[in-house]
Structure 1
């Protein structure tokens, strides 16, 4: 074989290698790139079945209203649902409490969930802005309450950060905490993080360090993804398991939550919740220094989805937060019979 033919073969190998590399990169890009969302009301998208408002940037926000008639309203509340949920998953409230305290509640699909348009620029701040705009569009007045559950509880910190002057009070129920908030002691977060299921440890790391991989990580089939997106029995407490049969009728709600696509809803939630925040909640000042309102934090000691330890530490750092630690209760305790009424009562009265 001549030297010329040898160089010719090497040249062919290089070209084939380049082509194969290009193909590999193209396939990799397709694997990590989320599909476009199926916008509600668009051609081929899910139908619009509930009321919506138009936001500052042209997006639509879907909501429902419950409670006493407008002429009997004394307390107005906006509810922020959790991960993999929607506007229909607000806490149950007894008619007795609703009537006694004149409670009205608006529950909305956060961006990308249910029938609310996705927000490609979603952040903790934009979530808070959506809440304030909804309050204005619904004429809730200068003051209103917010209740945030689970991931919605994490975003309720944004309401306390960006428009505390509009709040009459806030309740954060089993709120997600970010392991990378600077004010957490490293030994605490390391210890609590190590108690998470291994699959969740990796899912949180991906969301924090490589958010562009979150879609691929939680849709690939090679190894387990987040247990929060594909529920694993290990994340349910004894109380949660008792509650689950009562939630069988809410399967449709989960389907609706994901109907526009999982990236703009679930995966964006994880990227924001465990990403780099614009602020640390433990730096917040008391928005009710004159006792004109109150902030409540509720958490169950047996919560396996969101460990109680970080909420406990936050309550020690923020003395103005009224902390309620509930023994022998899991993540879904507000959905058990009679458990949500005390949350509403404490919020609107400001009492423990």
Structure 2
């Protein structure tokens, strides 16, 4: 009789422990809700926003000439862990060049970043449609240019797929590549993947195969998580280190703090899940949007980029010969911040200069 009581107590204790463990595990992998934006009790709204068809808001910032008189209208798509305030082609290009050419640039916070509402139903297609609706509500005309940097380059691929008829020209600056795009050769993709830091390999693996664990993986303390999220100096090339003072100049703490203010899941983690998840299309199946040379598509890449493998960019450019590929020797991921590079990017896109 006595042993039966002990067994019963042990069973109940195990049940309580197991139930508690499940509750802890559920809370650990479940991302918290985003912080609220706007009055009366939410985060402050400091820049204009448009209201999209589905009720969400996109926050934006304008640079350069007035859109009413500008000859060229560009939508800039920011990268990972960034926001609308860091539109490098606007902030680092020569003001005289922007004025002489008549360039208007609008940068916006992608969903969940800065002051733009999250999109719990975000897809690759919705990213392109957000850009199209932003252009329409701002009155940018039937065609406009799109420039995307880093993870923003992935969003730019979606424009080439879903809204090519709206594009006057496109530039992808050091665009992030998804290692699981179907038409990337397995040997080439695996080689590039294996050269990433081990913790980044795990981060990408989880975002692709176990996206419901992305929040937990990037917030747990048992194993090292993403070097990029941690802003590790190990991801910087020699040129990147030299450009750090330029990159960080003008990044006021208040503006920098806006990037992740709604929560890391809604900004960084959802970005990882979409960027490295299973894509709805393969970029290498995209057809030339400008068969009559009425526009152009450019990829700019540094050959010493430690974040985005240059080998994969070279292969993509070879498979899509209509892309004008620019590879900069000795350049890292921050090369657009080098003197004169943003000018060169704009001249190539708008004037066709090589």
Q: TM-score range by the shorter chain?
A: over 0.9
Report if aligned partners of 1:38, 1:44 keep a CA contact under 8 Å in 2.
no
Q: What is aligned with 2:36? A: 39
Q: Matches of 2:251 and 2:336 in 1, distance apart? A: 15
> What is the match of residue 306 of structure 2?
304
Matched residue SS, 2:85:
helix
* SS of structure 1 residue aligned to 2:28: helix
3-state SS, counterpart of residue 136 of structure 2? helix
- TM (norm. structure 2) is 0.96
CA distance in 2, matches of 1:201, 1:249: 32
1:119-198 correspondence runs (5 A)? 119-198=119-198
Tell me which residue corresponds to 1:224. Answer: 224
Match of 1:340 in 2: 342
Task: Look up the match of 2:106.
Answer: 106
Deviation of the 1:349 alpha carbon: 2.0
Shift of 1:140: 0.4
Q: Paired residue for 1:323?
A: 325
The worse-fitting range, judged by mean Cα deviation, of 216-225 and 134-143 is: 216-225
Unmatched 5+ stretches in structure 2: none
Q: Tell me, what secondary structure is at the counterpart of 1:73? A: coil
- Partners of 2:174 and 2:262 lie apart in 1 by 26
Deviation per residue, 1:72-120 (Å, 9 max, x gap):
3111000000000000110122112112221001100000000000111
TM-score, L = length of structure 1: 0.96
What is the Cα deviation at residue 9 of structure 1?
A: 2.7
**Number of the residue aligned with 1:26:** 23
State the alpha-carbon separation in 2 of the partners of residues 44 and 206 from structure 1: 35
Distance 1:191 1:153 in 2: 22
- Note closer, same or farther for the CA distance 1:44–1:34 as it changes in structure 2 (3 Å cut): farther
Change (3 A) 1:27 1:44: farther
Inter-CA distance 84–322: structure 2 relative to 1 (3 Å threshold)? same
- RMSD value, Cα: 1.2
Offset of residue 70 of structure 1: 3.5
With over 3 angstroms needed to count, the CA separation of the structure-2 counterparts of 1:305 and 1:254, relative to structure 1, is farther
Three-state SS of the structure 2 residue aligned to 1:66 is strand
User: What's the secondary structure of 1:69's corresponding residue?
Assistant: coil
Q: Is the 8 A contact 1:45 1:260 kept in 2?
A: no
Tell me the CA shift for residue 238 of structure 1.
1.0
- Residue 337 of structure 1: how far off its partner (Å): 2.1
Deviation of 1:24 after TM superposition, in Å, equals 0.3
Structure-2 separation of matches of 1:302 and 1:185? 21
Check conservation: 2:146, 2:171, Cα contact below 8 A: yes
1:298, 1:323 within 8 Å by CA — same for their partners in 2?
yes
Please state whether the residue corresponding to 2:251 is helix, strand or coil.
Answer: helix
Tell me, yes or no, if structure 1 residue 80 matches structure 2 residue 80.
no
SS of structure 2 residue aligned to 1:250: coil
Question: More displaced, 8-17 or 111-120?
Answer: 8-17
Larger deviation, residues 137-146 vs 237-246: 237-246
Q: Secondary structure at the match of 2:31?
A: coil
- Give yes or no for contact 1:63–1:87 (8 Å, CA) kept in 2: yes
Of 276, 279, 298, which residue of structure 2 is paired with 1:277?
279
Q: Secondary structure at the match of 1:16?
A: helix
Maintained 8 Å contact 1:172/1:298: yes
Match of 1:249 in 2: 250
3-state DSSP of counterpart to 2:308: coil
Tell me, in whole angstroms, the C-alpha distance in 2 between the residues paired with 1:7 and 1:42.
Answer: 61
| SS of match in other structure, 2:63 | strand
Change (3 A) 1:230 1:44: farther
- Which of 57, 62, 69 is matched with 1:60 structurally? 57
